[in-house]
Chain A
Amino acid sequence: ELKVEQNPLFLSMQEGKNYTIYCNYSTTSDRLYWYRQDPGKSLESLFVLLSNGAVKQEGRLMASLDTKARLSTLHITAAVHDLSATYFCAVLQGAQKLVFGQGTRLTINP
């Protein structure tokens, strides 16, 4: 059974700092997805990582995938308040289903 674990689950940081969210998963998969959720809102797709070594960047966020280590990272550079949200990773199980991590609640303070 595929298990997906994120850490940390809660992260409070100051504007301007850098930090990384980690997503570990337990069985082989070569598809990983990152989503953002604002309080009371739906999930917004951020990145789709389709192969080992994939790296994608959008603004201050950069995601990478290491399928051999079963690890993805979401790196935040020079954080700004607007990035405060909950971030989820999700891993494709077989060809059919996504299994989600618990989410990382990120709070960025001025």
Chain B
Amino acid sequence: DADVTQTPRNRITKTGKRIMLECSQTKGHDRMYWYRQDPGLGLRLIYYSFDVKDINKGEISDGYSVSRQAQAKFSLSLESAIPNQTALYFCATSDPQGAAYNEQFFGPGTRLTVL
């Protein structure tokens, strides 16, 4: 079984709809992240969380919100989806301890299309 899972894997929705993307992990990591990937722009950080009570905005948080329901679960919501939120979304986890400090492990991605 994959260590970091995302649901759904693909989603097509309409402008104005509320969408939730879910991420679960079995790695036991405290830190979790949401990124979006657009062609030619690499990955950009949306939100990150270092524990259940800690939520932080990334560089492109406008139009998004998150919920850290448990150590293992981190959800991303688009309150009112718009077409320029069409992208590939990745969840990641990391462990700040140990030799590979903050190496991030990525989920399989969710391809979101907003019409």
Interface, chain A (partner B; CB < 8 A): 4, 9, 31, 33, 35, 41-45, 48, 50, 88, 90, 92, 95-103
Contacts and interface: CB of A to CB of B under 8 A. Distances in A.
Contact of A102 (B40, B45, B100): B40
Given A42-B90, A50-B101, A88-B43, A95 B96 contact: yes
A88 B102 contact: no
Nearest first, the 6 closest Cβ-Cβ pairs linking A and B are A100-B42, A43-B106, A100-B43, A102-B42, A42-B106, A48-B100
Interface residues of B, number: 23
Interface of B: 40-45, 48, 50, 56, 58, 90, 96, 99-109
A42 to B, nearest CB: 5
14 contacts: A4-B42, A31-B101, A31-B102, A41-B108, A42-B106, A48-B103, A50-B99, A90-B43, A92-B102, A97-B58, A100-B43, A100-B44, A102-B40, A102-B41
B107 A42 contact: yes
Given A50-B101, A98-B104, A42 B109 contact: yes
Interface of chain B, helix or strand or loop or mixed? loop
Given A35-B106, A96-B56, A97-B58, 10 more contacts: A33-B104, A42-B90, A43-B43, A43-B106, A48-B103, A50-B100, A99-B45, A100-B43, A100-B44, A101-B42
A9 B103 CA distance: 23
Contacts of A33: 103-104
A98 B90 contact: no
Contacts of A101: 42
Contacts of B100: 48, 50
Nearest to A88: B42
Nearest to A103: B42
Contacts of A4: 42
Contacts of B103: 33, 45, 48
A25 to B, nearest CB: 13
Contacts of A99: 45
Nearest to A1: B59
